[in-house]
Amino acid sequence: MRDHAIEEDLRAFGLSSYEAKSYVSLVSLGPSEPKKVAKDARIPYTSVYPALEGLEEKGWIEEVLAKPVTYRAKRPGTVKAMVTSRLEDVFASLEKVYRADALQTAELVYTIKGSEKVLLKIYELLREAKESIILIAPAMGIEDAGIMQLLADAVERGVKVRAISDEGALGLLPAGVEIRTGSQIAFDMLVDGKVALIGLPDHSACGWIDSQAVASHFRQFIELLWTASSPPI
């Protein structure tokens, strides 16, 4: 019996539903061809290839044979170390920002829990954007219909919108959004260069701060990610 709870939990780390199912299958099956993975994961055969390619790009699996193409899951412990390292890097950067300013203006730091409340805050910030929005998140973090509509509205009123996401977002983001691709594990957003928000990609929790000084530090971090990411092919 498949452990669907594990598959859902993996989505919190930026995997799509098919990527999560494919990784769980490869962990169980060992080195396997895409057809075998699709059958075990119970996903469409045509969808297993982009799922496996996405997992390989994120560093969760590796190709071990070219003909016939065969993939192998990397050890869960190895993947855990990789994800943990990335999270530590992100929060280490945020810790520097926090020490730089937030200790003096603690009342400006807010934490929100619960997807409904988090989404309401994201909606509010997107509606209030006047000049710029920088959004960094996996596809699962931006596939919400409300976010898509508000990004489209922002573009229409002349707000410069940039986004970094995985290739799964290429067909989701509205026209006018400048996009670059790269593997992401958190939901980061900077609005008008002064309001910074960082949360989990499933919107279960987030933290945000309304401070020009803190946001300027956060923007440096985001601009580094933008420079390191790739324009879509």
Only one residue has tokens 């469409």, namely 44
pLDDT digits (tens, 9 = 90+) for 102-137: 444 444 568 888 999 999 999 999 999 999 999 988
Percent above pLDDT 70 for the chain: 90
CB 71 within 8 A of CB 58: no
189 secondary structure, DSSP code: E
Average pLDDT, the chain: 84
For residues 217 and 215, what is the distance between their CA atoms, to the nearest angstrom? 5
0.75 cut: is pTM over it? no
Complete domains list, the chain, with CATH: 4-74 (1.10.10.10), 78-228 (3.30.870.10)
Higher pLDDT, 91 or 108: 91
pLDDT digits (tens, 9 = 90+) for 157-194: 999 999 988 877 778 888 999 988 877 788 989 999 88
Beta bridge pairs of residue 71: 32, 63
For residue 230, pLDDT beyond 70: no
